[in-house]
Amino acid sequence: MKRILILMLAALLLVTSCGSKTPADPGTTVTEDPASVPANNGSGEEKPGDVTEPGETTEPVGAVEPGKTNDPAGSGKDIVTPAKSVEMKSPKNYEELYKLVNSYSYGYHGGMRYTDDVAVDLAVEEEAMEAPAAAPAEASFGAKNAGAVAEQSYAAESGDYSETNAQVKGIDEGDIVKTDGKYIYVLKDRRLIILSAAGENTEVLSDTEIAEDNTNDYYEYPYLYDKSVDEYGEAYESQYPTEMYVQNGTLAVIMNCSSWYSGYVDSMWRYEDHTYTLVAFYDVSDPYNPVKFAERGQDGYYQTSRLKDGKLYLMTNYYIYRYWDYEEKDYEDYVPELYDDGSRRLIAADCIVYPNQIESTNYTVITRLSMEDGAREDDLSVLGTGSTFYMSPNYLYLADTRYFEEEISRRQESVYTVTEWKSGNKTDFVKISFEGDIQVEATGSIYGSLLNQFSMDEYDGKLRVVTTDWNNGYSIYEDEEFGFRNWKYNDSKQTNGLYVFDENLNVIGALTDLAEDERVYSVRFDGEVGYFVTFRQVDPLFTVNLSDPYDPRIMSELKIPGFSNYLHPYADGLLFGLGQNADEETGRTEGMKLSMFDVSNPYDVFERDKLSLDLTYSEALYNHKAILVAPNKGLIGFPSTNGYVLYGYSADRGFYLLHEVTINDSEWWWNSNSRGLYVGDTIYIVTSEFTVAIDMNTGDLLARVRY
């Protein structure tokens, strides 16, 4: 009976649409248009807005052969790009998908599931959540202060409060601390803390448990598989909040979840695990009483997310690995699942796409959710790619860097057949539209690897990318008559490059072979100008003219000791850098530093101001969300190993220490994973243990709230 139920439910799911989209015909293929060069390409005419050095004319390169582009740097060499996968397919059904993933010999995924008679769809009735009562005026969570509320409302309505430091304006990124100008929201382990942002009257308004961590409560969790488990077995379920968003009275908490079981199943000892991601939506319009009203999720480990125009985009990586073989009917072992308020279902076959040749059996699962009501609007799963993500106002880009080894040429030399091989890193890109149906628009590929999301940027429909390219090569000499074979290895080489893609992800312009034996440490694009830092012993800050995407040109190359881990357009003509000092001879780091680069003349960039710090580490060096940059306040802040530091900046004073928060009280534990934010003229330093409120102008301590 259970087997019949499986087949009926599987057949039903095969025709289920991807969220709200109309299902594509079975086997739908998305094919890109061939690359084309604009009619005026090679005309020598300057485009309006080109940035050129006096007396210089920017001249676009000519048409290029497929897989190549002429070298705009003027070296006379061709820039070879990998063969491009121009086609994405969708399986007709799960059986076709089964054959595809089993044709790939190596891979693993974050979930071994129970097999055989497992029902594909599991409906679970959850007990109704009992909303906590609102805190009374005299409770420990305190009453609202009328004057403080008025001040909060003014700051929120005027927009005079900081937001999470994100890459693209208008696209929010998740974080462990958020504010809406009235309240401060904090993730503390598995709890949500809401505080009033009220200066000296700052207080905790609510403390809500939002996730669980239990062992041997196997049957209480809706996303675990129902199975007859031996009484000596052990099961574990863990949910851990990682990031959140808040908008218009709704708060969305993203949780990494995992479960595992070890014990005997059907008289056989088994170990099985499962990784998935949940988004819990809360109504926080009453900050004293947050109420959960929806829960959505999907298979895979949480990668990243974005919030744009009231829509939350969730990206996870779902891996297929097998401790033993699974059968074609065991769909849940190789097809990602979606979760909705305690029930689950397989993602529809026509919501899965894959390239001509898959390089791995990991999926990137993408879901669009409404912040207004938590509704699931659309889903897409891309097989074989996705480790770095970038979202522009128009598209989502998935980038996947992997090792490659390929034959590049073959020739005859005397009695030998000589085969040239190249190995190194290659990055594949998938361009996805998301305003309507979530669907693939184009694919592309280049040699090299990305540093992080800032390595990608879209401008005027063109994707710009900065890479570090490490490659090695060798030649095989083979005498077929005598069965002789020998290998000759070339010297390995590491260089850096910048590539420009057109709308179809064809490379149309590039700079290559830059800063040999160095690697990229930071990247930032600002309109028609690109900046990136490489490092070995000194810090070359490259400034690139991208006004003509067919002909990128280096305008300046500033070399100074040390390097910048993070770059931020600060104001007109200024670029801020947070990084580290280094010895010019050895390259050994010698503590952190602040740099302000004058980029008003891109052909003569110089370090206008700098400040060496008696600090060796900050989370902000590697996590842009941990830094507060507020040019309108002349304020820069970030956590340090023993506190939180706030620096001011002005043209006449340069950098100067504004405030430093250190906690030496043994009862107060300092967590370096902290955030700084401001509401009006009050600065809040927020950790998972406490929040400190400081007067921005005087530095006076206004409040210290523990939770």
Per-residue three-class SS string for 271-297:
EEEEEEEEEEEEECCCCCCCEEEEEEE
pLDDT over 60 at 71, yes or no: no
Residue 674: name the closest of 626, 707, 637, 630 by CA: 626
Name the pLDDT band for 260 (thresholds 50, 70, 90).
Answer: confident
Contact 208, 218 (CB under 8 A): no
pLDDT over 60 at 706, yes or no: yes
Percent of the chain past pLDDT 70, that is, above it, reads 75
Average pLDDT of the residues of the chain: 81
SS (H, E, C) 204-222: EEEEEECCCEEECCHHHCC
Angle at 454 between CA 450 and CA 460, to 5 degrees: 110
pTM > 0.75: yes or no: yes
Residue range 457-483: average pLDDT?
94
Residue range 304-324: average pLDDT?
89
More confident residue, 53 or 90: 90
Residues ≥6 apart with Cβ < 8 Å to 103: none
Least confident of 71-75, 147-151, 164-168, 672-676: 71-75
Name the pLDDT band for 3 (thresholds 50, 70, 90).
Answer: very low
pLDDT over 90 at 386, yes or no: no
Distance CA 124, CA 129 (A): 14
**Structure-derived torsion over alpha carbons of residues 625, 628, 629, 634, reported in degrees to the nearest 10:** 180
How many residues appear in the chain?
707
pLDDT over 60 at 559, yes or no: yes
Distance CA 112, CA 119 (A): 15
pLDDT over 60 at 603, yes or no: yes
Residues ≥6 apart with Cβ < 8 Å to 611: 593, 594, 647, 654, 655, 656
3 state DSSP class of 537:
coil
pLDDT digits (tens, 9 = 90+) for 178-215: 999 999 999 999 999 999 999 999 999 999 999 987 75
For residue 311, count other CB atoms closer than 10 A to its CB: 16
pLDDT over 50 at 120, yes or no: no
Contact 262, 271 (CB under 8 A): yes
What are the helix and strand counts (H, E) for the chain? Answer: 3, 45
Contact 537, 585 (CB under 8 A): yes
Least confident of 125-134, 144-153, 492-501, 619-628: 125-134
pLDDT over 90 at 66, yes or no: no
pLDDT over 60 at 395, yes or no: yes
Report which DSSP code applies to 146: H
Say what the pLDDT of residue 396 is. Answer: 98
pLDDT digits (tens, 9 = 90+) for 321-353: 655 567 888 898 899 999 999 899 999 999 999
Residues facing residue 143 across a β-bridge: none
Say what the pLDDT of residue 315 is. Answer: 98
**Which residue type does 533 have?**
V
Distance CA 639, CA 646 (A): 9
Specify whether the backbone of 460 is left (phi greater than 0), alpha (psi in -120 to 50) or beta. Answer: left
Distance CA 589, CA 653 (A): 26
Contact 87, 31 (CB under 8 A): yes
Distance CA 517, CA 496 (A): 9
